[in-house]
Structure 1
Amino acid sequence: MTSPNGDVLAAAMARVAETFGGMTAQADESGCGRCFDEREVELLRPPGVPLPADLVRRVAQKDPFHWDSQPAIIRRVLPQFVVVVA
């Protein structure tokens, strides 16, 4: 990312990471048991734990009804999601 557009993208990604980097799922988040197993939901609870790219993609693709608090879930995966889609 050395082009001017790459610099802008890198700066935006860094800003997302800075803003949302410490976010977590709710402690009592249970998620959709049909789409996510307990181990995957458990990964979403602590801040800063790297998530598998596949989990990040699947979380971002699901509608709000898969989560007890979809806004908290999106804030949790957003820093890694922007890296996946960049």
Structure 2
Amino acid sequence: MGDSVLTRSGGTDSLTTSLILEIAEEEGVDPIELSPPLNTVIDLDGLKALFCDSKDGFVRVEFTYAGHLITIEGDENVHIEVA
């Protein structure tokens, strides 16, 4: 485990899928084994809407999950680091 930066493209569905996959990789578990499930910590539909509805192209969201600080900025970068 360590700091990671994930650059993704392909729309808001790709954002949530990539986020789940990256956190699972950091945790060393299968995505369906994330505990608690990511959608119980953050509203994934709301997260997608924030990035989809951004008019100026810049949104920044930070939250903690499973001992990691997750930062999503712009429409391309997901940063995961130990909190």
TM-score over 0.5 (shorter chain): no
Tell me the TM-score normalized by structure 1.
Answer: 0.26
Tell me the TM-score normalized by structure 2.
Answer: 0.27
Structure with larger Rg: 1
Could you say which structure has the greater relative contact order, defined with CA pairs below 8 angstroms and 6 or more residues apart? 1
**Which structure features the higher share of helix residues?**
1
**Which structure features the higher share of strand residues?**
2
